């Protein structure tokens, strides 16, 4: 039977690649995103996918979105918690507490609420899977990006705990930790870092690649391929794991 997959923040970036990759396996795909324009464009390029606008920081919207997604899919087998925001690029002492709260609301609280609502439906699947999108910042420190790093580390604890709670129901839970993924979002992050540090964007990129063994940014299609693998029967014994895909990054700067 084709998998039924719900992906948060799936209209662009890594989420979009994950949606396309699952659709290529004939899975039923339901995507939510806060960006209505991106959702509209996504629906045109992948007509078979189902979509709904949702701000994962809004608990009521999350509850309505999950219910809508499960109803549209006819059940749920795979949840990909991809929604996340980068937050500001400033040191802790200069951090606006409201900006900190915004990152926590999306990256941690949003993931918690989507998962909380999805679990009863995943329990009815014969092979339930949860994939949490953490980051290289979830295993290393990240100067001037404290809310982002803190939430991505938090997702590791969430993943480990969920895998223990849900294993008896046959639900597998893993986290993917991408490094610097090529695309517009990475460009914006490096532009912000360059501005805050008084450096050029090219200098920031060169410095970033110097910290990893493979001298290339991560292809988002490779992240999507890993997600599809983790949701497949080939990974039926893999749970509670933290899987970096970052070109062997040694540190963040």
Catalytic residues: 148
Q: Which of 78, 112, 110, 85 lies closest to 7, judged by CA?
A: 78
Distance CA 47, CA 43 (A): 5
Q: Which of 77, 28, 36 lies closest to 55, judged by CA?
A: 36
Strands 78-81 and 129-133: parallel
Q: Which of 81, 147, 73, 140 lies closest to 114, judged by CA?
A: 81
H or E segment and range at residue 131? strand 129-133
User: Cα dist. 30→50, 89, 142, 194, 246 in Å?
Assistant: 5, 32, 32, 36, 27
Distance CA 246, CA 111 (A): 22
Give yes or no for a contact between 16 and 42, defined as CB atoms under 8 angstroms apart.
yes
């Amino acid at each position: 039977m084709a998998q039924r997959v719900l992906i948060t923040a799936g209209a662009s970036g890594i989420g979009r690649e994950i949606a396309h990759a699952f659709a290529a396996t004939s899975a039923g795909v339901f995507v939510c995103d806060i960006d209505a324009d991106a959702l509209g464009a996504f629906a045109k390029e992948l007509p078979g996918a189902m979509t709904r606008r949702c701000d994962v920081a809004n608990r009521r919207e999350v509850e309505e979105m999950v219910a809508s997604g499960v109803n549209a899919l006819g059940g749920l087998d795979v949840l990909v918690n991809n929604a996340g925001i980068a937050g500001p690029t400033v040191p802790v002492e200069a951090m606006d507490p409201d900006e900190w709260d915004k990152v926590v609301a999306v990256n941690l609280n949003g993931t918690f609420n989507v998962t909380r609502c999805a679990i009863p439906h995943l329990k009815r699947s014969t092979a339930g899977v949860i994939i949490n999108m953490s980051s290289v910042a979830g295993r290393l420190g990240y100067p001037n990006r404290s809310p982002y790093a803190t939430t991505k580390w938090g997702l590791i604890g969430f993943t480990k705990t969920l895998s223990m709670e849900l294993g008896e129901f046959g639900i597998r839970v893993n986290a993917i930790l991408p490094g610097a993924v090529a695309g517009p979002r990475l460009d914006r992050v490096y532009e912000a870092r360059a501005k805050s540090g008084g450096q050029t964007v090219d200098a920031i990129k060169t410095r970033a690649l110097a910290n990893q063994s493979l001298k290339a940014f991560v292809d988002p299609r490779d992240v999507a391929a890993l997600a599809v693998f983790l949701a497949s029967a080939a990974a039926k014994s893999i749970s509670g794991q933290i899987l970096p895909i970052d070109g062997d990054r040694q540190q963040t700067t």
